[in-house]
Structure 1
Amino acid sequence: MDLIDLLSLCIALILARLWWRHWSVTGSGPRNLPPGPPGWPIVGNLFQIILQRRPFIYIVRDLRAKYGPIFTLQMGQRTLVIVTSSELIHEALVQRGPTFASRPADSPIRLVFSVGKCAINSAEYGPLWRSLRKNFVTQFINPVRIKQCSWVRQWASENHMKRLKTEALENGFVEVMSNCRLTICSILICLCFGARISEERIKNIEAILKEVMLMTTPKLPDFLPILAPLFRKKMDEAKELRRKQMDCLVPLIRNRRAFVEKGEDPDLEMASPVGAAYIDSLFDMKPVNRGPLGEQEFVTLCSEVISAGTDTSATTIEWALLNLVQNQEIQEKLYQEVIGCVGEHGVVTEEDTEKMPYLGAIVKETFRRHPPSHFVLSHAATNETQLAGYTIPADVNVEFYTAWLTEDPDLWKDPGEFRPERFLEGDGVDVDMTGTRGVKMMPFGVGRRICPAWSLGVLHVHMLLARMVHAFKWLPCPTAPPDPTETFAFTVVMKNPLKAVILPR
């Protein structure tokens, strides 16, 4: 090798090293990002994460221990700033809420289902989001509307109890998750469309919306768009799934519109009066900078309500019952509270659940011990800003790792134990689930992008849990013992769904 070749090789190696440093996330670059593991050229930390072949949350836990409460991952062309401490989450999402209230760019597949981010969860912080959220809060979850639609929860709860009895007689046990999903999905469909439909149609809608959630989970082209041509088949599948989603929900929308405008109800499905269904408020809505909504937007907005409300509520009930099955003393204490309020032969109402502090403590402890997700939906800064002394550019994904809050021994005594009493007397007494006074748990997010229907979701959990414990004693299934092993879908669910034996009280 002559001198020129050797010099060229040295220059190439130096340039490669500089390029590596440019793409590596060390926190010492010109952007002053938080620290993080060195990455590879172009792909950053992406393949380092993939090759570990373990859930992302476990990798995040390890990185938190090494780099501290805020760190950076370069995932291909996406930069992720991960925030894990109570103080920084509260500062970003509550004290400086408007600054961190936007959303990052969406993948092409997500845009298919959100119709260009025309959804409360995905819309960027601005006029469209404000219009959609204001309409939802005033038309769907205001106290008058919730009370007006209490019959929906009553009807669905009665069907739920009958179904449990039938399944127990036929199988000797009941599967908790499938029953709770069906019941809550039926409630939300009726609240959205004002219609009572068959279980078969509810199951079909539920299955399609579950497919949509799985289809929109992050995929390789989200981080390396250059690979998108290799995933054309996946985009075709997404478009076909969107067609199926439209086909199953548009008839409900058209039937409701005919009922609202002309009083027509040929299928005798319309059970709510005009104005009581969420879709009624969307027909004449003209969001700022968007114009009148059409069937594409109607499907997206109603699907968002059904999907988000079904999974989180059903998952919470299943985890709560797992702990009641495993700890009969807690279950008996809850049962005594319920019969003390409504008697042995009474019917639990929504107003009754407000008088049951131990029920509330169990639900809060379930949210703490088994949060529906270990991250909230991705945030983005509206403009470049600072957090913890580091620069947060406007184009990065800001990810809030919330599971650590519920495991932090500095915030909770014996965090691994399921102990509802902590919310009656102990470290959970003053906990605010909205995070306004401080963040110790955030099952629904906090700040500007907190789930707008969180109180309705809690009501559904309280109602079903109280009724199920009032009617039955819940025992482990001998052929399928309770297994607390987690797996990660849209929410954190049990790897083996809970099966339980139920004995009438």
Structure 2
Amino acid sequence: METWFTITASLCLIFLLRAVLSLLSPTTKINNPFPPGPTHIPIITPLIWLTKSLSQIEPILKNLHTKYGPIVTLRIGSRPAIFINDRSLAHQILVQNGSVFSDRPITLPTEKILNSNQHNINSSSYGTTWCTLRRNLTAEMLHPSRVKYFAQTRMWVLDILLKRLKFDIKSSVSIKIVDHFQHAMFALLVFMCFGERVDDKILNDIEKAERSLLVSLKRFNVLNYWPKITKILLRKRWEELLKLRSNQEEVLVPLIRARKEANKSGLCNDNNNPRAYVDTLLDLKLPIEGQRNLDESEIVTLCSEFLSAGTDTTSTALQWIMANLVKYPHIQQRIVDEIKKVMAVSDKEEKEEVREEDLDKLPYLKAVVLESLRRHPPAHFVLPHAVTEDVAFNGYLVPKKGLVNFMVAEIGRDPKVWEDPMTFKPERFLNEDGSRLEGFDITCSKEIKMMPFGAGRRICPAYSLAMLHLEYFVANLVLNFDWKVSNGGDVDLSEKEEFTVVMKTPLEAHISPRI
């Protein structure tokens, strides 16, 4: 009891000293006020916000926006956090003034361990290193010509997914599908990352190391406040963080080294063994750092980013889409009818698979995917943006060390843009006769109507790959199985915040092979 009292008292003293120092620090040359927000009480207010998850803060923010307007400030931790829920302001910031607002906040001590001192795409400062890392990913892995090389891999993963589902049908009345989706997406991304089909044990070891870090991140927030002191008072928690990072390196480094040896032996980079993401990282040089190669720790960080960014978001989006298809059977049947119509006029009338080249002929399927991303974006907030110096925007001060974030879900549900926005209606993305998609720009270059992948210079670089995966797997899931509500119940579409926004009650569905 005395130990915890000492820790609590010490942390309060730390916050008090930081508050005093912030008051004594030089003032900005910009006289504009911070955007409005609730009353800020040093020490107490930051602690209150730090104890809440984003899912708890989101409804509070909705009320604050109603009271104060489209720009609201919260003092989370030691830095002000600005939240914006207006699509026009988001477009001004992210697209029209992208060069000003494309930086990332200064990385915190615990984050430096996990992102190799900002040597990954998500957290890297806006500059040469970020451009180098992002250009490598987009040109070497996400360019359409490169994506095609992994078509056979997607077919292999689809086959695994279908077999797992068919096996579960024999032993269970209903199936919890999100576990199958996560396994499939993770297997696909591990192959794209390391260029080989690893066995289930290695796959499970990688997934365990990645997920252990994700679920523990919130526990380490407190370590960022006066790290010299927390390294003494919270030594075991620091050791836990370092152990999790060590576990991650233990499972990924052998794969990196094996691929390095395969490259030396000339076994990589042909049609049967396409260039993997780790191959591009082994060849990459950082121009701003003397043309040096990435070290192993930095490659681990970038591989981890590749795996984590594409697994949870895509599997979550898949779960939301399938939940709506279970809840609304007529939508599911319309996709099936569209697929069968396309297959009827193809060379092979009895194909067992919707191939990637067929997807452009399925506008209703695409509309269903877009509507799900609008109504149920996998993440309700983008990663925080920052500015390199104090900036005046819309009459307010955006401070150099502040965070700027956007309420993705609220923007995609704006009743001024979307009629009856809470209704799931794919037809809103189609022309009048439903024969083609209306011109909708998912990159938000001209305007923002919804932004499930973000917008501007920091938009998710893999948005086109994500759309391909969603369309491909949804099409084949409804082609092979009839999806129905489990045990005559209903589908709970309410949301729960985890790493991405998932359903409070994970979807369990009764599925049966289509005849």
- Say whether the fold is shared (TM-score over 0.5): yes
Structure 2 distance, partners of 1:317, 1:331, is 14
Aligned amino acid, residue 377 of structure 1 = L
Structure 1 residues not aligned, in runs of 5+: 1-17, 24-28
- Pairing partner for 2:419 from 413, 423, 433: 413
Q: Secondary structure at the match of 1:55?
A: helix
Q: Give the structure 1 partner of residue 275 of structure 2.
A: 276
Q: Give the structure 2 partner of residue 285 of structure 1.
A: 284
Aligned amino acid, residue 417 of structure 1 = T
Preserved CA contact (<8 Å) 1:80 1:399: yes
What does 1:309-458 correspond to in 2, within 5 Å? 309-343=310-344, 345-346=350-351, 347-425=353-431, 429-458=438-467
Aligned amino acid, residue 393 of structure 2 = L
Preserved CA contact (<8 Å) 2:220 2:241: no
Q: Give the structure 1 partner of residue 65 of structure 2.
A: 64
Structure 2 distance, partners of 1:85, 1:435, is 14
- Pairing partner for 1:482 from 480, 491, 502: 491
> Offset of 1:22 from its aligned partner?
6.6
Cα deviations by residue, 1:290-337 (Å, 9 ceiling, x for unpaired): 321121111111111111101111111100111110111111001101
Q: CA 1:58/1:222 → structure 2, altered by over 3 Å: closer, same or farther? A: farther
Which range moves more in the overlay, 480-489 or 330-339? 480-489
What does 1:12-51 correspond to in 2, within 5 Å? 30=31, 32-47=33-48, 50=51
> Offset of 1:46 from its aligned partner?
4.0
What does 1:201-216 correspond to in 2, within 5 Å? 201-216=202-217
Structure 2 distance, partners of 1:359, 1:47, is 44
Aligned amino acid, residue 32 of structure 1 = P
Q: Give the structure 1 partner of residue 56 of structure 2.
A: 55
Structure 2 distance, partners of 1:51, 1:85, is 23
Preserved CA contact (<8 Å) 1:37 1:73: yes
Structure 2 distance, partners of 1:102, 1:70, is 19
Cα deviations by residue, 1:7-44 (Å, 9 ceiling, x for unpaired): xxxxxxxxxxx98x979xxxxx9552111111112444
Asked if residue 238 in structure 1 is aligned to residue 237 in structure 2, the reply is: no
Preserved CA contact (<8 Å) 2:54 2:497: no
Structure 2 distance, partners of 1:111, 1:129, is 15
Q: CA 1:193/1:459 → structure 2, altered by over 3 Å: closer, same or farther? A: same
Q: Secondary structure at the match of 1:100?
A: coil
* TM-score computed with the length of structure 1 as normaliser: 0.89
Q: Give the structure 1 partner of residue 132 of structure 2.
A: 131
Structure 2 distance, partners of 1:121, 1:185, is 19
Structure 2 distance, partners of 1:214, 1:51, is 15
Q: Give the structure 2 partner of residue 78 of structure 1.
A: 79
> Offset of 1:430 from its aligned partner?
4.1
Aligned amino acid, residue 484 of structure 1 = L
Q: CA 1:458/1:33 → structure 2, altered by over 3 Å: closer, same or farther? A: same
Q: Give the structure 1 partner of residue 145 of structure 2.
A: 144
Q: CA 1:481/1:72 → structure 2, altered by over 3 Å: closer, same or farther? A: same
% identical aligned pairs? 37
Q: Secondary structure at the match of 2:283?
A: coil
Preserved CA contact (<8 Å) 1:125 1:382: no
> Offset of 1:220 from its aligned partner?
4.5
Structure 1 distance, partners of 2:447, 2:105, is 25
Q: CA 1:103/1:173 → structure 2, altered by over 3 Å: closer, same or farther? A: same
Structure 1 distance, partners of 2:489, 2:264, is 52
Q: Give the structure 2 partner of residue 296 of structure 1.
A: 297
- Pairing partner for 1:461 from 441, 456, 470: 470
Q: CA 1:352/1:186 → structure 2, altered by over 3 Å: closer, same or farther? A: same
Q: CA 1:148/1:68 → structure 2, altered by over 3 Å: closer, same or farther? A: same
Structure 1 distance, partners of 2:506, 2:360, is 29
> Offset of 1:397 from its aligned partner?
0.7
In the comparison of the two structures, how many residue pairs are matched? 479
What does 1:73-222 correspond to in 2, within 5 Å? 73-217=74-218, 220-221=221-222
Aligned amino acid, residue 447 of structure 1 = G
> Offset of 1:224 from its aligned partner?
4.2
Q: Secondary structure at the match of 1:144?
A: helix
Q: CA 1:337/1:52 → structure 2, altered by over 3 Å: closer, same or farther? A: closer
Structure 1 distance, partners of 2:442, 2:509, is 30
Structure 2 residues not aligned, in runs of 5+: 1-18, 25-29
Structure 2 distance, partners of 1:162, 1:479, is 25
> Offset of 1:440 from its aligned partner?
1.1
Q: CA 1:52/1:186 → structure 2, altered by over 3 Å: closer, same or farther? A: closer
Q: Give the structure 1 partner of residue 15 of structure 2.
A: none
Preserved CA contact (<8 Å) 1:192 1:302: yes
Q: Secondary structure at the match of 1:386?
A: strand
Preserved CA contact (<8 Å) 1:107 1:222: no
Structure 2 distance, partners of 1:60, 1:381, is 22
Cα deviations by residue, 1:177-226 (Å, 9 ceiling, x for unpaired): 11111111111111111101123322332222122223334854277447
Q: CA 1:76/1:43 → structure 2, altered by over 3 Å: closer, same or farther? A: farther
Q: CA 1:92/1:243 → structure 2, altered by over 3 Å: closer, same or farther? A: same
Preserved CA contact (<8 Å) 1:167 1:174: yes
> Offset of 1:68 from its aligned partner?
0.6
CA RMSD, Structure 1 to Structure 2 (Å): 2.7
> Offset of 1:345 from its aligned partner?
3.1
Q: CA 1:438/1:62 → structure 2, altered by over 3 Å: closer, same or farther? A: same
Asked if residue 499 in structure 1 is aligned to residue 508 in structure 2, the reply is: yes
Q: Give the structure 2 partner of residue 250 of structure 1.
A: 253
Q: CA 1:71/1:448 → structure 2, altered by over 3 Å: closer, same or farther? A: same
Q: Secondary structure at the match of 1:74?
A: strand
Q: CA 1:220/1:152 → structure 2, altered by over 3 Å: closer, same or farther? A: closer
